[in-house]
Structure 1
Amino acid sequence: MKAIKYFFVGGTAAIVDFLLFAIGVKVFNFPWFPVSFFGFIVATAVNYILSIRHVFTSGVRFKIYHEIILTFLASAVGLAVNQTGLYLMIELFKIDSLLVAKLVATGVVFLWNYSVRHYYIFGETR
């Protein structure tokens, strides 16, 4: 059940990220790299807030400030995966559609985010 709830939470955060990316690169013609970074940070904050309200119980394994730090550290790994994936697809493999590349990178990062939150950050201690 948590995976389904997180799918919607992660989906909402991904939509925020994707919309900020699309608006930044398509409407304002900003470079994709900083736009992606900004959107990812905003989406991480959205993800954390929605996750503790709808999916995970906050404070089970760590104190709340530790959860926030761990969430942003895990998201930093996700950001590195996201940016690397975008770089490979856009710059190296020359995928024409920035939005398709962003969608693929987002899917990979979604799997990472759920796993690290479910099994570590918000997981029960054994």
Structure 2
Amino acid sequence: MSGLAVLFLIFDAVGKVLSAPQFVEGTLQLGYPASVVVGLGVLQLVFLAVYLIPRTSVLGAVLWTGYLGGAIATHVRVESPLFTHVLSPVYFAAFLWVGLWLRNERLRSILPFREAQ
């Protein structure tokens, strides 16, 4: 599950770091200046690195949750469609957390799927 989200997030980060026209245009449509695109891409790559390192993966998931929360707020502000734009960061956050939960025994002990008997 993490892999799917990570692949998309790598694609998004690299597109921003390279200032691909589609990524710059998308950022402009959301009301941000083109000057922030590369910085956002670098930030995403840092968050991905933190998420992919087993010792810091929970911190990475927390950082991504904050970043994706900002994406939700941005889409709400520009009145984007609910299921395809506003909620897509929720989908990615869920994939990141569920994938992390499946591979991290300590996280499963802290956040059990069901109550201990």
Q: TM-score range by the shorter chain?
A: 0.3 to 0.5
Query: What is the TM-score when the length of structure 1 is the normalising length?
Result: 0.32
